Structure 1
């Protein structure tokens, strides 16, 4: 049911010239207090079970070329309180239904000198706080430019944080675990090379930021509903332990062009004394608008394979020829050049992948490097780089379309923009229509390299608007989008569920670029996945890359059992089996789990979790009574003691357990695994050991 009754008690307490208002969460465990300082500066505080989480923190925005910023000199002209309690059904997700329950306080502020109006809206859920700035229609604030948003998050101590460097162009870093006071000293070592990157401060970090206090509280800072605004980073005052928002600028340093009526994204603070609550929270989704796509029947979760890993590892190439140093679309004649022997996106190889995908029950196949232009696509500041419709001579679009259709496989399109967003928009309608004409229902888009026009960043307002434009335009053509190198998601998939995935973090490809930290996948669900699913591309079975790509000495820092578990712990409606078919053919008994595991769920139960150390989650497959469990482990050997009380009482199940063997070692013996089956019920228990960077995966099938 829905209710907007003002049932909350608003306390107007006058002391030392400060006016305070209090808001409680539905369960009463969280308390937010809004107040004005004596100079009219708006502030807030947050408590959990009477313990401080956020100390008094300032709110407001600094404006460019304006006589008065929206920072102080405010009075409270009105307050409105309400409660909201509703349940909605996601098109796809971790659970069948989502409850949206919060108490709200909207404070209308009036600036005395300018007569401007600013509304700060707070929504307090059982798991955290969301708040945003709203700029209503008014005479004295119509068009304005944001120089900087000055939102503060004042910490109560020197917390442990899992952070990556603040960067305007990439999130593809390993996480560093340190005290807040140590960020400055560890910053330079945390910055590793990337195709496009720009840091702004030695204490700047990115959201979602996960922290743990000495008292055992888990705190997560992020944002929700990033629409027509710049991505928010955090800059730490490490003397006072205060984070302040830091927006991504455009080419001339401006951070937001606004026209009232409008609003900022939600700033979010999740807090709990149980790490599992952070993972289970749907607060980010709930702070986004309901679905705007009327007919969603065409939006379906996808399990896919791809002609991709062999290029990432260097075994094969995206480019058709090695003879061309420069390409001009419409001018270069590929029939007159000698093809290389390493181009992967050729008709014969693609059919081989289609056969394997079809035989093993997959939905789709991604092919990269199929279109003209890959010979000089990167690092040239080239505007007209791809046209997204012209295939290489060895890629027969029509034949592949018909062959895939005969095998029950959908083809997944790849659009690499090379950062030239204007060029992508120039070709977008024609490219999307080309997809529909040839049976492609989903696109993986990429934004590798510096953004064009020069000086723009991946995460500023203008480029964020491009990503949103691409999603909405794709919806017009009934196309699902999986955007790589785009801004990290903020729950927009609720409003536009055709956004079925993003990369926007350090994915599996970095295992081929030197490797990722062994505990990387125990952190990502607490950080990157807070805003939406990630196309992490798991399922690597051959960890020693030099065995099939001799010039690459990288090693995948994971056991095979860990790779299986990722299909459950790294939630996504878009899951790839990323390795080569010949590697799966060597381990078909383990590959069975990838074939069986669901990608859409009726329920999810987080059984145990500690950021950086371990995550174990059980999920119930959509429309069935079958469950799947995944455990990923961090840097130390650990034993999980599980109960199965989430299973239906009175039912019997067959559990197949894929686990690390006793001698498994992610460096020296990663392919050592065991498979065993046993009958279980809701009363059963299991003790299972995982090695460092290891884990286990369990399929639980109801016995009829």
Structure 2
């Protein structure tokens, strides 16, 4: 990822002693307008597109632990607007080059008096949305936050596609509720949320550059049914955020469009993240991977039983080489374990991710894969990864392991967010790519750490093993909701397809609902640089459509949404080189 062109033009700077007039900024095309005003209750913002109000008098500010909110009494001291226009090249992406063109509004605010607290609000106005964040100056060695005053007050009652969650411990694997905002009832909502408004306007809310901070959620307001409040992920009763000042919060991102498909084309989330931190990223190679766990180690026509054993992995490796897939994923069950008495006398399971169980000859598998031109990924639980990272990651590099799939985090409090960044850094040191499962939504970290190839954070095809919720309707909702946040490891590719009235969940060699064309289309529509091919070798060999699965790319030079509507259909075209995939 390197900066290929940059032109930053200072348009104008205005300095205001005390601003009675709102601080405003418009997008480069003048169609999106953001306005920040102050009143006794605190700063608030309004947002309009094409002259149509979308949000009005939406509160801004922070909620420090143990002190009054930062908001009421704040006054604008200075403001300025800057024009930014630059182009950068991602290591992996939906486009070979990404333009970051926006107008940046910086508003400095302070409480009256020499001891008054201060914050800065930064706003980026894009042609397809806005993003804003708070900058906290040096005020204390340690700064604690319970939350934010940030809220979104809609000018009307929009139709929403919302992901209700039961709490902050969540894997984001759920069904979307579709209803007017006022009818959602009291609920906590995982991001992104997508909204349809009158006049053909579309909006989605999410966040970008989540680092050393707590994940953002939205909550409905019983007192104001057309308002969404913000909540920060916490562990127990502790402060949501504890860190040294100065610091900047994540960006609060509002994607805008005149069609639902415009939201999919947006690059705001990536643009709001820092540039690549890896000096030489040539070792990061996207591609497809054959997966043992989804079909439950199914094999047929062979003289051994499928399972967590060397023969099964060699079989899957041979298939990967035959199909031209660069990777084999060895999932749950490979690492050594035993039960021992714990300190409390109860038996506890002890795992070692630096060696394999006796039925898995990992060195032989890796050597066989190397001869076949296939590289191995290893599955880990996050707790085992955390306990042995310093030992395991250098060892995996020595073995020639391509990457790790890390699972079951299921939270996004500040500690866990920082742990994601630790994994990214340590994995990059040892040339390991990463697939996060049991994960929170992506927030653009893949721009900074492109070895973080993909993230689950979605109710994907694995649920066909135990649920009937993976319907075609659900699948054509995801591009307009979860996929707006970034790479999505939905794990497509089931070939044993049935119509909804005949579908039944099963654990081994699962069925999938819909058609094979529906499955193949997911390789174009769903963006994931590491793309799973979930079925077992004998289900694929000679099957109609398998040739397409073999050569469809996993990264793209250009992407265009032709048409679509959440839950109904999506028509999307992506280009790789001179070839378009529709």
- Aligned pairs for 1:172-183 (under 5 A) are 172-183=173-184
Tell me if structure 1 keeps the 8 A contact 2:496–2:511: no
Alignment of 1:382-397 (within 5 A): 385-397=350-362
The match for 1:347 among 310, 313, 327 is 310
- Where 2:164 maps in the other structure, the secondary structure is coil
SS in structure 2 opposite 1:165?
Answer: strand
Q: Paired residue for 1:560, among 497, 513, 516?
A: 516
The partner residue of 2:407 within 442, 446, 462 is: 446
Paired position in structure 2 for 1:161: 160
The CA deviation at 1:547 is 11
Higher relative contact order (CA 8 A, sep 6+): 2
Structure 2: which 5+ runs fail to align?
none
The 3-state SS of whatever aligns with 2:145 is strand
Count the aligned residue pairs: 562
- Residues 423-443 of structure 1 show CA distances to partners (whole Å, capped at 9, x for unaligned) of 532200211122112221111
Q: CA deviation at 1:345?
A: 2.1
Name the SS for the 1:387 alignment partner.
Answer: strand
SS at match of 2:392: helix
TM-superposed deviation, 1:627: 1.9
Give me the whole-angstrom Cα distance separating, in 1, the residues matched to 2:103 and 2:6: 12
- In 2, distance between residues paired with 1:178 and 1:384? 45
Give distance in 2, aligned partners of 1:531 and 1:155: 22
Unaligned runs of 5+ in 1: 185-201, 317-340, 449-456, 630-704
Partner of 2:243: 258
Provide the rounded CA distance (Å) in 2 between the counterparts of 1:346 and 1:374. 17
- CA gap 1:430/1:40 in 2 versus in 1, 3 angstroms: same
Q: Which residue of 1 is the match for residue 26 of structure 2?
A: 24
Question: Do the aligned partners of residues 525 and 64 (structure 1) sit closer, same or farther apart at CA in structure 2, a change above 3 Å counting?
Answer: same
Counterpart position of 2:337? 373
Correspondence list, 1:151-300, <5 A = 151-166=150-165, 167-170=167-170, 171-184=172-185, 202-238=186-222, 239-300=224-285
Q: Distance in 1 between matches of 2:58 and 2:537?
A: 54
Q: 2:370 aligns with which of 405, 410, 415?
A: 405
Q: Which structure features the higher share of strand residues?
A: 2
Q: Map of 1:85-100 to 2, 5 A cutoff?
A: 85-100=85-100
Contact kept? 2:339, 2:347, Cα under 8 Å: no
Q: Which position in structure 2 is the counterpart of 1:55?
A: 56
Cα deviations by residue, 1:160-219 (Å, 9 ceiling, x for unpaired): 1111113312210011211112212xxxxxxxxxxxxxxxxx322111001101332111
Q: Which moved more, 1:483-492 or 1:342-351?
A: 342-351
Report the 3-state secondary structure (helix = DSSP H, G, I; strand = E; otherwise coil) of the residue aligned with 2:514. Answer: coil
Matches of 2:372 and 2:317, distance apart in 1 = 7
The corresponding residue for 1:145 is 144
Give me the whole-angstrom Cα distance separating, in 1, the residues matched to 2:136 and 2:450: 28
CA distance in 2, matches of 1:435, 1:145: 38
Query: Once the 2 structures are TM-superposed, how far is the Cα of residue 387 of structure 1 from its aligned partner?
Result: 2.3
CA RMSD, aligned part only?
2.7
Per the TM alignment, residue 552 of structure 1 is displaced from its structure 2 partner at its CA by 7.0
Cα separation, 2, equivalents of 1:241 and 1:281: 25
Residue in structure 2 matching 1:458, options 408, 411, 436: 411
Structure 2 partner of 1:527: 481
| TM-superposition CA deviations, 1:374-396 (whole Å, max 9, x none) | 989xxx99997432112111100
Task: Determine if the alignment matches structure 1 residue 356 to structure 2 residue 319.
Answer: yes
1:577 to 523, 533, 537: 533
Matched, 1:435 2:396: yes
- Indicate how the Cα distance of structure 1 residues 279 and 549 shifts in structure 2: closer, same or farther if over 3 A, else same: closer
- Give, in whole Å, the separation in 2 of the partners of 1:565 and 1:491: 24
Contact 1:95 1:604 in 2 (8 A): yes
Residue deviations 1:304-363 (CA, integer Å, cap 9, x gap) = 101111239xx79xxxxxxxxxxxxxxxxxxxxxxxx97722111111111111111111
Per-residue deviation, residues 521-563 of structure 1 (Å, max 9, x unmatched): 2121222222211111101001369999977797522211100
Q: d(CA) in 1 for partners of 2:175 and 2:267?
A: 25
For 1:46 and 1:294, locate their aligned partners in 2 and report how far apart those are by CA, in whole Å: 39
Alpha-carbon spacing, 1:10–1:44, altered in 2? closer, same or farther (3 Å): farther
Q: Of 554, 570, 574, which residue of structure 2 is paired with 1:619? A: 574
Larger radius of gyration: 1
Displacement of 1:120 after TM fit?
0.5
Deviations 1:62-84 (A, max 9, x none): 11112x33121112121121010
